[in-house]
Structure 1
């Protein structure tokens, strides 16, 4: 679990009694993703990250769409699930995608402003 938490940074893992969450304080991680569509109103806030994550989930991990839910705020992206393994699968893949500029820009091109 230690390596896992290290590997998903700056996302952070939160275990609660009934569900597990993975969150991100927005603003400092990969702002350049959202700058490409700033003229459309994207700011890189929690809602924008959720729009991006939903497209990624729908296209790449459709089998997890019923298990991974989102609860964003302006300054925070947050995904949660009662199935920690599903959430772990999602966040590892999503973080990896965010590190791949070409892939994440392609996914982001289909994100819709919330």
Structure 2
């Protein structure tokens, strides 16, 4: 496994024929983020992760809006792009943000239920 793949865990990278994705099986990572707003209906689903990632993208990496897209499901968060370098930039920065409790809570305070 490459150091890039190690550095984004528990997110995982998937190569497709003409695009790339980065995904997360929800439920085991950073549940405490979503518990802070469980009264608002957040459960930590793939859709909730998508809402959080959208706030992160618009505020921290607006140059990648429209290049990095989201396709979450109930049990999985998924971001994808036809530009693998852009998606790598996004997931490395998003993972760092997820590891910074103060920053991720601040971003999540502006997330909206999907």
TM bucket by the smaller chain? over 0.9
Unpaired runs of 5+ in structure 2? none
Distance 1:61 1:94 in 2: 10
- CA-based RMSD: 0.8
Q: Which residue of 1 aligns with 2:104?
A: 104
Q: Which residue of 2 aligns with 1:8?
A: 8
Equivalent residues, number: 114
Secondary structure of 2:72 counterpart? coil
Distance 2:60 2:2 in 1: 26
Give 1:93 shift. Answer: 0.3
Give 1:11 shift. Answer: 0.1
Q: Which residue of 2 aligns with 1:87?
A: 87
Unpaired runs of 5+ in structure 1? none
TM-score (norm 2): 0.99
